[in-house]
């Protein structure tokens, strides 16, 4: 949508409402990047003063709880 994303997880039959930050993290959760690397990418992409590592970790934790990502 204009300002966020709606995700329907067919296997759990749940709908998820994600803002732009959450979707950014989700897209980088592909097994190639660590949370620290994702936070650094976010810092550069959005011109932040510091890498938002705790926010990234919190988002990843929620994505894992909602089964939108799996840990390896």
Partner 1 sequence: MVRAEPQFPVTSRLEFEVWRNTEGYDFRISGEHIFFRTDPEWLTLHLHQRINAMVLHPLSDHVLIHAACGTYQGKRFLLAGDRRAGKTTLLMSLLHHGAEAHSDDLVLLRGPEVIPFPRRFHIKEGALDCLPSLGDLCRRRFSYATLRERFYFLDPLDLNREWRTEPGRVDAVFALKAHHHGDPSIERIPKYLMMEHVLNEIENFSPNTPKQLADVCRMVDGSDCFLLRVGRLRETAGAFREMLAGA
Q: Residue numbers of the site for partner 1 (CB under 8 A)?
A: 1-6, 8, 10, 13, 15, 17-19
**Smaller CB separation from partner 1, 53 or 55:** 55
The least distance separating partner 1 from the CB of residue 34, rounded to whole angstroms, comes to 27
Residue 65 tokens read as 């709880």
Give the ranges where 1-72 is alpha helix by DSSP (H). 20-28, 35-46, 53-65
**Smaller CB separation from partner 1, 27 or 37:** 27
Spatial CB neighbours of 57, under 8 Å, sequence gap ≥ 6: 35
The least distance separating partner 1 from the CB of residue 19, rounded to whole angstroms, comes to 7
């Amino acid at each position: 949508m204009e300002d966020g994303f709606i995700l329907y997880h067919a296997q759990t039959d749940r709908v998820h409402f994600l803002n732009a930050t959450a979707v950014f993290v989700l897209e980088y959760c592909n097994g190639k990047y660590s949370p620290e690397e994702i936070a650094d990418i976010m810092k550069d992409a959005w011109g932040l003063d510091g890498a938002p590592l705790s926010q990234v970790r919190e988002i990843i934790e929620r994505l894992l709880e909602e089964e939108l990502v799996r840990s390896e």
